[in-house]
Amino acid sequence: MASKLFFLRRLPRLLKPPSPSSSSSIRILRFLLLESSVSEAPRCSPAFRTFSSGPVNLADDFQGPAAIDYCSVLQEDEFHTLANSAIHYLLEKLEEYGDHVEIDGFDVDYGNEVLTLKLGDLGTYVLNKQSPNRQIWLFSPVSGPSRFDWDGNARTWVYRRTKADLLKLFESELEQLCGQPINLS
């Protein structure tokens, strides 16, 4: 409360037009930084910071995506190894699957680190790596866009919002669309 009174008393001086020898915007910025460092909000060390890309919802029963623990984020080289392995595995399995299903326009393509599965009139899947986020992104004609994170405990790529496994999602949706099961696990 005292800091707010301090701010209100200093507000006229902070907002006055800048003179050639002073910079009020720098003074305001310094004050706001000082004010935020004095706030009563709990501080957390970088080791405990978390990130969630889900919407803010204050409801008590909100079951949004799990937070990312930055201590468990993959190193870039490990991410590329795991993501490339998953994408190449899917490429091989989808090419085999294409030999067994009779879908007009079925085509699997991999180029520029993007895997594209065309199913003619049924839609198109697009799968690619997102290195800065350490994620695999998928666009599905059935479930829409998804962002998969590596789950080291389960040893698979998981969509945090729905807890869906990347390979199981493909199995389920391809069987639904094409009428034939595919085993990716």
More confident residue, 63 or 8: 63
pLDDT tens digits for range 104-141: 999 999 999 999 999 999 999 999 999 999 999 999 99
Query: For residue 89, is it within any domain?
Result: yes
On whether both 86 and 38 belong to a single domain, the answer is no
Q: What is the pLDDT of residue 65?
A: 57
Q: How far is CA 135 from CA 97, 160, 177, in A?
A: 25, 11, 25
Sign of CA dihedral 79, 81, 82, 88: positive
The CATH number of the domain holding residue 88 is: 3.30.920.10
Question: For tokens 């889900």, what's the residue?
Answer: 54
Given pLDDT bands bounded at 50, 70 and 90, which one contains residue 73? confident
Please give the DSSP secondary-structure letter assigned to residue 131: G
- The total number of structural domains in the chain stands at 2
Strand partners, 109: 116
Give residue 163's domain range: 73-178
Q: What is the pLDDT of residue 74?
A: 85
Question: For tokens 């993007």, what's the residue?
Answer: 114
On whether both 26 and 83 belong to a single domain, the answer is no
Average pLDDT over residues 176-181: 94
Chain centroid to Cα 153, Å, comes to: 19
pLDDT tens digits for range 129-177: 999 999 999 999 999 999 999 999 999 999 999 999 999 999 999 999 9
Query: For residue 39, is it within any domain?
Result: yes
Average pLDDT over residues 73-79: 90
Helix, coil or strand: residue 35: helix
Q: Do the Cβ atoms of 89 and 166 come closer than 8 Å?
A: no
Q: What is the pLDDT of residue 185?
A: 80
Query: For residue 185, is it within any domain?
Result: no
Exposed, middle or buried by CB within 10 Å (0-12, 13-18, 19+), for 173? middle
Give the containing element (helix H, strand E) for 176.
helix 166-178
pLDDT tens digits for range 34-65: 444 444 333 333 433 344 444 544 444 445 55
Q: Is the pLDDT of residue 16 over 90?
A: no
Average pLDDT over residues 16-25: 48
Quote the pTM value. 0.62
Query: For residue 184, is it within any domain?
Result: no
| Residues 66, 160: Cα–Cα separation, whole Å | 6
